[in-house]
Amino acid sequence: MVSKIISDYNNKYSDLDISCSFHEQKELLKSIGGSKYLLEDRQIPYYEEALTFLKDKFDTNKSLHIENLYFINEINDTINVPIFCNDEIIGIALGRKSKIKPNIINNVGIQLSRFITKKFFTKKIKSIESRANIKDLEFESIVQLTNMLSFCDNLSNETLEYILIHLVSLYAASKGMFILRDSNTNIFEVRATFEIREEDMPRRMLTDNKGLLAELKNTKKTFLVESDKFNLVKFVEHNSICSPIYFRGNLLGCIILADKESRKGFIHFSDLDANLFDSLTKEISLTINNLKLIDDLQSTNNLIDNIMTSIEAGIIKFTEFGEIEYVNKKAIEIIGIERDLIQNQHYGIIFADNELFLEVISNYELAESDNQAQVVKNVPFKSFNGSIHTLDTTITPVYDKNKDRSGYILSFDDISDMQKVKTTFKKYVSGNIVDEILDDNSKSDLGGTLSDACVLFADIRGFTSFSEKTSASELVSILNKYFTEMIDIVYEYNGTLDKIIGDELMVLFGVPNNTEHDCQNAVDCAITMFKRLDEFNEKLEKSHNHKLKIGIGIHYGEVVAGNIGSDKQMNYTVIGDNVNQAARFCSNASPNEIVISEDVYKNISDQSLFSESILINVKGKDNAIPVRKFTHFSI
């Protein structure tokens, strides 16, 4: 373009021999962007003279290059004007003094100055723009890397390679290496590389006792390393930058970037590079530490989960705000919906349909009872799949490291099966005995203890003649109905059904659990039996034209109570003279009559219901025994 400007003038004004020269080709190239406008033809005559002239003119030792040499023949016959670029003279325009007018050569100078200045600024702007783009790229890479790190959820080799590649690209490095310490062996391992040849890989075991890793451990800083300083960086051809990854003073690894590129070749990493790299590796350290902590936490969670899964009780951990934070496998089974639907929900929502279960939790929450575990048994629970459970619950507070309550744990045992067993068991054995045995295993051992007990016998009078007139199936049906009514009364008064002997009931009060009211309960039970029998008889009379009548004997005294039989089959019962005596009283009792001993009489409140003491003879006793009688008057 410079040539064109000059040749245009030379064509317009013939024989002007306008020419120009520049201080340095490099200067011009820099200014106008790498053009090949300049001529440097040493074959042209007077070339040397022209150079000498121009050097004198500008008082410079800089090399000069000449665009045109038309003027050279008469070198002293020249007129010149400076060529400016950004207010600096960078060259000169020349013309033949004898032929050119000053204003023309001035115009040439101005035009060339404008052109070159414009080119200079265009190039400069382009260069600034390019540098800005590179900074933009660096910024974008940092953002991308930071984003990637924040979403990073594992420490796989692929992840580390991804981080390394980003860093290599960001720093226009040629090679890179990512080293991390194995948490089990404490040996450092190369986990990712970029453009490093196999033969340049470290052969020795890497520790932080010596070499580059030791230096990183001690300094904890990013630094620039020359290629020959450490064995570990022998892959570096020019120089490298190394940055430690550490946590709480412990070196976890390092990242090495090597051989920074530029358009002109390899260049050194700058201090700015080191500072930025240091910040980035700190970010990476943080991510790695977070991931390690997450791994540890996950391992701990897995351990807890395994333990919790192996526990046969349901476990629910609530936050202080009543949200369900953790629920174990057994609890999920009992509740009957998936874990995801339970976790993070408020218990009030999940257990809305289980009023009593809800009460257990909310009462505890409201009570704010510190340190106290609260046990609530036999809590009914309806699961989401419709199954019904009976739960024994225990709720305990949980404290954080500051000893502030951070929530509570509810554990519950599903005792539904136990309840079924109990219910079935109680059909065969008195409920009191079932509870006693289930609460204390030793109670199922053979053997007995001396206890005070009130023993009641109730026998149907005239049953043999009735049975002769009634079919067996009808008889069983009537007896079952009779016993159902009577046994219900026994339970109402906390009696223990010992056995049914034909048409006779044997009932105990005071064993296995004694109370102050055992005698009173036995008497009340007997009186109620008569009343209930009246009702029963009303129906029986209608159906079979018959009424059952019973006689009852009750005695209170010391008995041997316990399991009698063998390991394979045993009965809880009482034995002893006092038992026999109660049976004798029953035999002595007329229909609708209760015969009680003086020992019973002494222990009841409404004594007026009984007769004065009378003496009766009973089988097996030499002397008459004082008893009192109650007579029931049927409706």
Q: Please name every residue paired with 409 in a beta bridge, in sequence order, or none if there are none.
A: 317, 396
- Quick one: which segment of 86-94, 133-141, 344-352, 606-614 binds another protein (CB under 8 A)? 133-141
- Binding string, 191-230, against another protein, x = CB under 8 A? ---xx-----------------------------------
- Of the candidate residues 137, 304, 337, 373, the single one contacting another protein (CB under 8 A): 137
State whether the Cα torsion 138-139-143-149 is positive or negative: positive
Decide if 446 contacts 567 (C-beta within 8 A): yes
Binding residues for another protein, how many (CB under 8 A)? 23
364-to-166, 352, 622 alpha-carbon distances in Å: 55, 16, 64
- CB-wise, 62 or 131, nearer to another protein? 131
- Of the candidate residues 261, 295, 488, 492, the single one contacting another protein (CB under 8 A): 261
We find the least distance from the C-beta atom of residue 236 to another protein, in angstroms, to be 16
- CB-wise, 156 or 484, nearer to another protein? 156
For 166, half-sphere exposure in the C-beta direction (CA atoms, 13 angstrom radius) is 22
- CB-wise, 138 or 485, nearer to another protein? 138
Residue with tokens 């064995």: 231
CB atoms within 10 A of CB 470: 17
SS3 193: strand
Query: Beta strand pairing status for 374-382 and 239-247?
Result: unpaired
- Of the candidate residues 68, 117, 174, 328, the single one contacting another protein (CB under 8 A): 174
- Of the candidate residues 38, 110, 165, 224, the single one contacting another protein (CB under 8 A): 165
- Of the candidate residues 144, 387, 484, 617, the single one contacting another protein (CB under 8 A): 144
- Of the candidate residues 7, 60, 73, 133, the single one contacting another protein (CB under 8 A): 133
- Quick one: which segment of 23-31, 130-138, 283-291, 333-341 binds another protein (CB under 8 A)? 130-138
We find the least distance from the C-beta atom of residue 169 to another protein, in angstroms, to be 5
Distance CA 185, CA 207 (A): 10
- Quick one: which segment of 126-134, 184-192, 303-311, 458-466 binds another protein (CB under 8 A)? 126-134
Nearest to 20 by CA among 41, 44, 2, 43: 2
Distance CA 44, CA 66 (A): 10
Q: If binding is defined by CB under 8 A, does position 140 make contact with another protein?
A: yes
- Quick one: which segment of 73-81, 82-90, 256-264, 312-320 binds another protein (CB under 8 A)? 256-264
Q: Which tokens belong to 545?
A: 């034209």
Decide if 466 contacts 482 (C-beta within 8 A): no
Q: Which tokens belong to 515?
A: 């109370």
Q: If binding is defined by CB under 8 A, does position 262 make contact with another protein?
A: yes
Decide if 33 contacts 123 (C-beta within 8 A): yes
Task: Please list every residue from 275 through 314 that binds another protein, using CB under 8 A.
Answer: none
Distance CA 48, CA 52 (A): 6
- CB-wise, 175 or 181, nearer to another protein? 175
Q: Collect all residues with Cβ–Cβ distance below 8 Å to 591 and sequence separation of at least 6.
A: 461, 462, 549, 550, 551
- Quick one: which segment of 204-212, 241-249, 261-269, 362-370 binds another protein (CB under 8 A)? 261-269
Query: Beta strand pairing status for 405-414 and 88-96?
Result: unpaired
- CB-wise, 129 or 606, nearer to another protein? 129
Question: Which residues in this chain contact another protein in the complex, by CB under 8 A?
Answer: 129-130, 133-134, 136-138, 140, 144, 165, 168-174, 194-195, 261-263, 265
